[in-house]
Chains A and B, each alone.
Chain A
Amino acid sequence: MSVMAPLVEVTLRGLLGRRRTILLALLAGLPVLIALLIRFSGGRPDADRILDTLVVRTVMPLVALIVGTAAIGSEIDDGTAVYLLIKPIARWRVAASKILVAAGLTSVMVVPAVVLTGLLLGSRGGDTATTVVGYGIACLIGGSAYAAAFVALSLFTTRALLLGLAYVLIWEGVLSGLLAGTKFLSIRQATLGLAAALGVDVPGSEPLAPAVSVFVLVAVLAGALALASWRLSRFEIRGGD
């Protein structure tokens, strides 16, 4: 862990540049802001719908996408990754550090937004605590899975942001709704399935079974770590000529 500490520190400092931090704060603050508007305009309490539509489907994947693709992708782009790769550190530790930071930062941004939004609006069914805890835990794990997947993706392509966005908007947003059989390939569906397993009344179609949801999320986390480690162990940095 002692070698991972400086990796985590430098990644965090690199990620929390002024513009990226403002963007992340605005994204994470959006559901809270909407909850405040609904609350003070006398709207009907419905945390479940806002948390499902706005947090799980939009804010969580976008925050994870921004953080995950930048955790090592920006260092590869600007050339500073070389200083991490010319050290006597097993490459899986580098990959694990990047995933840890991306997952942690996504959770730090998303989970408080879930809690505040849930508490401000209250659950439609009346059990606000179950909704907040259920969505909170599901987003903690689901957001980490998204972040890990995007970290791994950024090691395979320089267009990770674009491809990640396509996955979230097209695959998860459109195709997995139309093709029910592909639900198990969706981190979003697994997150909602986990929330449902924790007692949340998830709106919309039938969620994934709890065991399948947990399996998908764990597989994404483990698979992303394995792929990122494998890729880093063979990662080449070209010379200038």
Chain B
Amino acid sequence: MSDEMVPPPPTGTTALPGATQAAPAPPPLAPPAAGPAPVQAPAPSTPAALEVDHVSRWYGNVVAVNDISFGLGAGVTGLLGPNGAGKSTLLHLMAGLLAPSAGRVMVEGESAWRRPEMYRHVGLVPERETIHAFLSGREFARLNARLQGVADPDAAAARAIATVDLTDAADRPIGTYSKGMRQRAKLAGALVHDPRILLLDEPFNGMDPRQRLHMMSLLRTMAAQGRTILFSSHILEEVERLADSVLVVYAGRLAAAGDFRSIRRLMTDRPHTYTVRSSDDRRLAAALMADQSVFGAELVSGHVAIRTADYDAFTRTLPRVARDAAVTLFEVRPTDDSLESVFSYLVRR
């Protein structure tokens, strides 16, 4: 993907760059979506293995995924968003487990919906923790290998179990596994047929730091071998450490897409609001307003609310200004720094 964020297109129905075929524009989404035009993801640098073309999915009046388009080639892509953003719905659409209400999902050039043959090349690790508790990890991997029609299921299962570092517990019933071990068993099941495309829904849930590092290293290696890997997470740091590129989803919409640094910059450079309590709020507000990094200061009972567009400059300026004005700072608190508000900002942008 390119280093720069792609600006929102003038209309929401532009064909996806790099798509195998330009589909006719789908009918307008019902119910109609309000808000800014959807973000257009940059074209993948390698041929797109996965294409999501103006896809929407709604349940009755609830829109879970709203006119999302992107294409993915080889590499690791993070699907970032808060809980309830529509990440799992999007992954299930790509895995052929849900039919799009509008638009289309293509896997290696063919529709993902109602095409079981595509699972020869696709592996999925669902978010739901449940897994056949009466099977051992090895039996589960072997079952998956047999269902995939792998020539030597025993060898494939042993290899997948070793890959996810589960050999020691492989013959114990899955019912006795910890959450992290279940995650690895699920991954082993998804790897037995050596898929070209891997979809992982919150794969690091329940893993301890060592397992997490191992999994990240494994996914990086697999991506370097030319596989297309998409994983969802609501944790920024996970995505930052693993993903080459990022898709940010919020409230069913694609809020941003591109390489991680660009999105990080967007998140950092957005307007920030701080609550500051000091020994003299009025004098501090007046002094801060003289600084270029601050574009708003409002006296509220008991504190001053400050708005800044330059996070770095403000955090450097505030102590100096307070010292020069002989004001003692009691409390400095960002009021809009939750991931929710960051995602919300990206959507409004």
Contacts and interface: CB of A to CB of B under 8 A. Distances in A.
B92 A239 contact: yes
Interface string B47-87: 00000000000010000100000000000000000011111
A233 interface: yes
A125 interface: no
A225 to B, nearest CB: 17
B132 A236 contact: no
A208 B149 CA distance: 46
Interface stretch (B121-129, B162-170, B328-336): B121-129
B313 interface: no
Contacts of B103: none
A236 B84 CA distance: 18
Contacts of A78: 130
A43 B149 CA distance: 57
Contacts of A82: 97, 124, 126, 128
Contacts of A85: 97
Interface in B114-171: 114, 116-120, 122, 124, 126-128, 130-132, 134-135, 143-144, 146-149
Given A13-B134, A80-B131, A236-B97, A88 B126 contact: no
Contact of B64 (A90, A91, A241): A241
Contacts of B118: 88
B87 A239 contact: yes
A91 B84 CA distance: 30
Given A3-B147, A86-B124, A88-B117, A238 B92 contact: yes
B212 to A, nearest CB: 20
B116 A90 contact: yes
Interface in A85-141: 85-91
Q: Which of the four size classes fits the interface of chain B?
A: 35 or more
B281 interface: no
A239 B91 contact: yes
Nearest to B82: A241
A33 B146 CA distance: 42
Contacts of B144: 83, 87
Interface residues of A, number: 31
A241 to B, nearest CB: 5
A186 B236 CA distance: 59
A14 interface: yes
A239 B125 CA distance: 12
A2 B151 CA distance: 11
B201 interface: yes
Nearest to A239: B88
Given A86-B97, A86-B119, A236-B99, A241 B134 contact: no
Nearest to A233: B114
Interface of B: 59, 64, 83-92, 95-99, 114, 116-120, 122, 124, 126-128, 130-132, 134-135, 143-144, 146-149, 189, 201
Shortest beta-carbon contacts, A-B, top 4:
A239-B88, A79-B130, A6-B146, A79-B128
